Structure 1
Amino acid sequence: MGAVASAALLFPLLAAPSATAGPVEPEALQKQFATAAARRGVPQSVLLAVSYLQSRWDAHGGAPSVTGGYGPMHLTDAVTALAEAPHHSHGEEDARGDESRAPRIGAEPEIALPTAAELPARLKTLDRAAELSGIPAEELRTSTAANIEGGAALLAAAQRESGRPLSADPADWYGAVARYSGADDKATAATFANDVYDLIRTGETRTTDSGQVVTLAADADIAPATGQVESLGLRTADAGRTECPRTVACEWIPAPYEEFGDGDYGNHDKGDRPESQDIDYIIVHDTEATWDVTLKLVQDPTYVSWQYSLRSSDGHIAQHLPLKDVGWHAGNWFMNAKSVGLEHEGFLTAPDSWYTEAMYRTSARLVRYLAQRYDIPLDRQHVLGHDNVPGTVTSTIRGMHTDPGPYWDWAHYFQLLGRPFTPSAGPEAGVVTIRPDYDTHRPVYTGCTKAGEACAPHGSGAVRLHSEPSAEAPLVKDIGLRPGGQDSTTGVNDTGARASTGQQYAVAERRGDWTAIWYLGQKAWFHNPKARPTAVNARGLVLTPKDGAAQIPVYGRAYPEASAYPAGVPVQAVSPLPYRLLAGQRYVVGDRTPGEYYFAPVFDTTGHMVVRGQEEYHQIQFGHRIAFVKAADVRVSRA
C-alpha cells in the first residue's frame, strides 16, 4: 500500500551475472534440471514443479526475491540480501482519506532489523543447500545449474528426514514438497504441495527470462500421498474468522479496534458491508516491508489497516479485518468504504526483488473468491492497484501512493484470474486495452535506488505516453502532480505519463506505429507497432461531455449532493480535481453509482451511517488513476 513503509528491504548486495547470461544451448536449463534430479535422486517432475511454483523457472539475473530467494529454486539467503531501505512510497497520503477527522498518515514505528539468528529457517535455505550439496553459497546464488542442484539437495534431505526412501515415484514426495515451502503451518504447506502436484498433473511449458524453453510433462493420473503432511510437526494455524476460499491457507491475525486517547482510535472502522454499501473494488498493494514487519504494523492501533496480507515465499494469507469492516489503506475514503485491500509482500522500488508464483496464485484465488462473493467484475476497472486510486481533492493528488508500480505483472495475474486480456474488436476499434509483452517490454525507469539513476532492466506492464508520436517527444503532463505544467518524468514513482496492462482507453488517433489515447484531458501517444503491439483492440462504452458543454469537471470521489445529508452529518465538499474533460474527448466508462458517503468519524459506531444521494456518477479511466464524472454532465455511447 506504500503506507506500510519499509523498515527492511531485501536488496541484492552482489552484482553477479546470471549463469544464463550470454549465448546458451536452447535446452541448457532443461538439461540442468534433468542432471540435478538424477544426481540427487529426486523425480524430475517434482523438481521442475517446485521450481515453477517458486520462480516460473526464471533466474532474474541473479537478483533475490522479496524474501531473499535466489535462482529458479528460490534458495533463500536473507542474511546476504537484507539491507536497510529508504521509504519508497512517494507521498504522504492520509490512508483514511476522510476530512471528517484528523488524518491518519501512518508514521511507522521504529522496528529493528532482525539479526541472522532471528531469521526463520525459511529465509536461510541457501546456507542449508550449501551444506548439503557442498556447493559454495556464491555459486548457488549466481549459477542456475548450481541453484537447481542445491534445491534438489534440499528436497532429497527433506525426504530422508521424513524416514522415506528416495523413491522414483513422484507421488511419494508430497511431504518433502510441503517441507520445501518453508511454511510453519500445515495448511500452508499442504496448499503449496497441492499446487506442485496440480502442475505435475497438467504439465507446463514456458520460455524463461533467459530465453530458455522448459517443459514439465503432464502426469494426469498422479495421486500423491497427501497424508504425509501430518508427520511434519507443523502447527495448526488459527483460521478463526477468516473469509477465504478453500484452495488457500488463511490465518486470522486481527487488526485492533481500540481507543487510545484524545478521541483517536485505530486502526479501521466498523461497518456492515455489503448490507450498508456494496463492495465494488479490490485494491492490490505491496507492503514495502518484510512479512514480520507487516504483521507488526497492522497490529498497531496507531497505524493503518487492510483486509489481507500475502506472504511471498509460500503464498500464505493472513486476514486482519472482517470483510464487512472498512480498512484504512487506499488514501481515499470513498474507495476505502467500497473496497477490499490486499497487501502483497514486496517492494516497488526494488523491481528485481521479484514476486513468487506461489503468491501470485494464492492472490488470484482470493480475488476470484471475493469477486464471486460480491459480484465484482474481474477487470481493471474494479481490480485496481493502489497507484490507480485517485486523490480525493486537488491538494491530495501529489501525496497518493504508487504501489504496486510498473513491475507488477498484471497480464500474468489476470491469466491466473481466468480473464486474460485478448482482442475483442477489429483494427479500427475505438477502444484499446493496454497489453505489452511483460518479459520483453523493458522501458527505462529511474529512481529505484537513487534519484535520476536508471533502474535495473526489468519487464514491465506499463507503456510510456508522449505528447507526439515520437520517442523523442516530451512525456505528457499531469497538472495534478505538477501544477506548474512541467513534463512528466521516467521516475519509477511518477504516474503522470503511464498506462498499465489491462487499463482501457478511448482511441484519439492512429498514426503508423503509434496510437493516441485520451488521457488527463489531452492526447497521449504510445508506441504500438503492428509487429509487436503493446495494446489490443477492444469494444466498450465511452462518454463525452453532453452536447453544448465545452468542458466538464472531474472528481476523485463520488460524494452525494449537499441536500442528501441529514442533520448532524457535515456536508462533504463535492470538489473537482484540477483536470478538465473537454468536448470531443472520450473516456471508457466503468460503473454508474449514486453519490455515497460513509459517516464514521468516531469510535462509537452508534451514529455511523451511509449517506446516499440522488445524483449519480460514472467511473472513468481518466489517466493512470480512475476518476468520476457526474452522469448529468455526459453523454454515453458505444465506441
Structure 2
Amino acid sequence: MLLWAAAALLSVLASGGAQEDFQAAAKEYGVPESVLLGVSYLESRWDSHDWRPSVSGGYGPMHLVDAEAVPEAGQHHTGDPRGDDSRPMSITHPPLTMIRQDEQTLQLAARLTGLPVERLRQDRAANLRGGAALLADQQRRLGSPLSPDPLAWHEAIVRYASASFANEVFDVMRDGVERRTDDGSLVRLPATPVPALRVAPASDTECPATLECEWMPAAYKRFGKDDYGNHDRLRSKREIDYIVIHDTEGSYGGIPSLVKNPKYVSWHYTIRSVDGHVAQHVLTKDVAWHAGNWDVNTRSIGIEHEGYLAQGGTWYTEAMYRSSASLVRYLATRYDVPLDRAHIIGHDNVPGSNADSVPGMHDDPGPYWDWARFFAMMDAPIEGKTSGRSVIIKPDYDLHQPAFVGCVRKRPGKPCEPHGATTVWLHTEPRDDAPLVDDIGKRPNGASTFSVYDQSARASVGQRYALAGTSGDWTAIWYLGQKAWFRNPPSQPTAVRASGPLVTPIRDKVEVYGRAYPERSAYPRGVKFQEHAALPYTLHRGQYYSLGQTLRGSYLAASHFNPDKHVMVRGRLRYHQIQLGHRVMFVKADDVRVVS
C-alpha cells in the first residue's frame, strides 16, 4: 500500500496543472483524490469542453448542472414513426424540456463553497472544488466520516448520482486512467485496489448486471374506436437484426410523460446523460414504434439518449456512453447482433419505407455522436485492413472538425461552433470547391446543404463503402448511384482500407428498397399484400456497394390490440442490405452479384 501511495504522489507531482487542482480540491474537502478523479472522469473525462454546457446543462470537469443551460427541446418524433402503410400514424406532440430541482448542482455547489456561480462555470480549480464540496456534503448527510478509504464513499456517490454510476466510478478507479485533457493537462488516476461492485437491475428489466435499470413502462392502451398505443406486444420472441441509436431532442425529465402517453410513440430504453441511468419502457420481445420504418421497427431495439443532435458545443458524458455501450453489448450478445455499423445504426441510418417518406426521415443522433469511442467501449473497435476494395470512414474525432451550419434553429445559416465530428463531406469532384453530391430522395427539389440536419452528402464513422477511386489527397466511394469524393490525406486520414463482401448490379436501373418485404404468394388469406415500394434511387452496372447482411423477406401484420391476432409473414424472397448512401437500404438478391 505504501508503494502504491508513493507512486500516486510521484504521478501527481509529475503532472502539475489539472492534477494539482484535483489534489487541492480533494484535500480541502476531505474527499479521497481517487474518488474525485473517478467521479470527474465519468462526468467529463476531465475535460472542460471550452466551458460549454453538456446536453443536460452540466459545466466543466465536475459537470455542475445549471437548469438555465438546458437547450430548448426540438421536434423529435414527427411524421409517421410507425412507418406502416396499413395503419399510418401522425405525431405532433413535442418532447418537454424539464429538469428536477435536485439535479441543479451548480447552485448548490455555489452555496457550499461560497464561490460565485460564474466562477464555478468557467474556472477549473473552482469547478473541482464545487464537485468535491458536493461529494463531502453527501457524505455528511449520511452521517459518515470524511474517510481516506475510497470504499467508504460508495453510498455518497450513489446519492450524488446513482448506484450504477457509483459502481462505474469504482471500475475506473480499479483499472486506472491516464489521458491528456482538452486543455493540454496530463491527468493520472493510478489503479486503485477497490472491489468490483455490481447492482441488481429491476426484476422487470432486461439489463446487464452492471447497470441499475428502472422499469418505466410505455402505455399499451386503446383509444378511439380502432387504434391503440404505443407499441405492439408479441406472444413470442422475435428476431433482432438492428439496435438503433437515437437522441431525445429534449431532456430526460420529459420522458415519463411522453412514453406513458398512448397517443405518442415508444422506444425500448432511455439513457440519462448526467449519470448514465437507464430506464426500460418496452420489453425487447415487443415492437416499439421508434424508427419510422415498420420493417426496421419489427426487427430492432430502439435506445434513446438524452441529447440534441445540433448542439455542437454541447457534449455527452462518459457515464452515458459507458452505460449505452454496456447495454448494447449485452443486447447484441443476447440476440446475436454483430457489433458493426451495418447492425448498430443511428436513426439517421434507417431508410425511408417508401419514396414519400424519405425526405422526412430522421437525422439523429447526428454528426457529433462519437461512434469510434462508442464501439471501442464495447470491445469492438472500428478497424480497417492493410488492403481491400472498400474503405471504412474513420476520422480522428477530436481533430476532425468539419464545418456545419444551423446549430441554432432560429439562425439556420449561422456557422456552428468548431467541434469534433464523425462525418466527412462528399463532393462531386476531388476538390473543396466542388458541389456536394445530391440526394434525390432526401432533397428532391434542391441541392445538398452544409446543415447539421442534412446528411444528404455525408458518410459517417464505421460505415463501409466500396472504393471508387483516388486522386491525390482525395478518395472516392460509390454513394447513391454516383462517385462521391472526400478528403483523405495521409497526414490526417479520414478513412481506412477495408475488406468485405460487395454487390454489383447485373443490369442497369436496379431498384432499391427501404423494406425487405416478402413476395405476394407468401401472404396468407386475410393479410393484405404489402407493395414492394421502390425508393427514388437506381443502381447501374459497374457500381459497387458494401454488403451488410442477407435476409429473407418478412412482414408483421399487427393491426389488432390483441396480440393473438398478429400474423408474421415470412417469404422466400432474398434481399441484400447495402450501404447505399448515409442510410442502409435493400436490393433484391437476384438483381445483383456478390463479390467476395
TM-score tier, shorter chain, comes to over 0.9
Q: Could you say which residue in structure 1 is the equivalent of 2:392?
A: 433
Determine the C-alpha separation between the residues in 1 that align with 2:486 and 2:392.
12
Q: Which amino acid aligns with 2:44?
A: S
**Match among 453, 457, 466 for residue 497 of structure 1:** 457
Tell me how far 1:251 sits from its aligned partner: 1.1
Per-residue CA deviation, residues 340-363 of structure 1 (Å, 9 max, x unaligned), is: 000111111223232111111111
**Match among 485, 491, 504 for residue 525 of structure 1:** 485
Correspondence 1:591-610 to 2 at 5 A: 591-610=549-568
* 2:31 partner SS: coil
CA RMSD of aligned residues (A): 2.0
**Match among 184, 198, 215 for residue 252 of structure 1:** 215
Tell me how far 1:109 sits from its aligned partner: 6.2
Determine the C-alpha separation between the residues in 1 that align with 2:184 and 2:590.
52
Correspondence 1:93-492 to 2 at 5 A: 93-101=79-87, 103-108=88-93, 119-121=100-102, 123-181=103-161, 189-219=162-192, 221-223=193-195, 239-272=202-235, 274=237, 277-426=238-387, 429-449=388-408, 450-484=411-445, 486-492=446-452
Q: What count of residue pairs does the alignment treat as equivalent?
A: 581
Contact 1:589 1:620 in 2 (8 A): yes
| CA 60–402 in structure 1, closer or farther in 2 if over 3 Å, else same | same
* 1:149 partner SS: helix
1:612 aligns with 2:570: yes
* 2:517 partner SS: coil
**Match among 49, 62, 67 for residue 60 of structure 1:** 49
| CA 83–593 in structure 1, closer or farther in 2 if over 3 Å, else same | closer
Q: Which amino acid aligns with 2:28?
A: R
Contact 1:93 1:401 in 2 (8 A): no
Per-residue CA deviation, residues 534-588 of structure 1 (Å, 9 max, x unaligned), is: 1121110001012xx1231111111111121122111111011111111111111
**Match among 523, 542, 555 for residue 502 of structure 2:** 542
Determine the C-alpha separation between the residues in 2 that align with 1:71 and 1:533.
30
| CA 273–512 in structure 1, closer or farther in 2 if over 3 Å, else same | farther
Determine the C-alpha separation between the residues in 1 that align with 2:453 and 2:256.
25
Per-residue CA deviation, residues 512-546 of structure 1 (Å, 9 max, x unaligned), is: 21110000001111111111111121110001012
Q: Could you say which residue in structure 2 is the equivalent of 1:41?
A: 30
Tell me how far 1:179 sits from its aligned partner: 2.2
Q: Which amino acid aligns with 1:461?
A: T
Q: Which amino acid aligns with 2:562?
A: D
* 2:322 partner SS: helix
| CA 110–435 in structure 1, closer or farther in 2 if over 3 Å, else same | closer
Determine the C-alpha separation between the residues in 1 that align with 2:467 and 2:186.
36
Contact 2:459 2:582 in 1 (8 A): yes
Determine the C-alpha separation between the residues in 1 that align with 2:95 and 2:398.
37
Percent pairwise identity: 54
Determine the C-alpha separation between the residues in 2 that align with 1:536 and 1:210.
29
| CA 281–513 in structure 1, closer or farther in 2 if over 3 Å, else same | same
Contact 1:92 1:400 in 2 (8 A): no
Contact 1:104 1:304 in 2 (8 A): no
Per-residue CA deviation, residues 50-104 of structure 1 (Å, 9 max, x unaligned), is: 10001111111111112211110011111x214644x344x84310000111x22
Q: Could you say which residue in structure 2 is the equivalent of 1:232?
A: none
Tell me how far 1:304 sits from its aligned partner: 0.5
| CA 259–166 in structure 1, closer or farther in 2 if over 3 Å, else same | same
Q: Could you say which residue in structure 2 is the equivalent of 1:621?
A: 579
TM-score w.r.t. structure 1 length? Answer: 0.88
Q: What are structure 1's unaligned runs of at least 5 residues?
A: 1-24, 182-188, 230-236
Q: Could you say which residue in structure 2 is the equivalent of 1:555?
A: 513
1:81 aligns with 2:54: no
1:71 aligns with 2:71: no
Contact 1:273 1:323 in 2 (8 A): no
Q: Could you say which residue in structure 1 is the equivalent of 2:11?
A: none
| CA 288–515 in structure 1, closer or farther in 2 if over 3 Å, else same | same
Q: Which amino acid aligns with 2:478?
A: W
TM-score w.r.t. structure 2 length? Answer: 0.94
**Match among 573, 589, 596 for residue 631 of structure 1:** 589
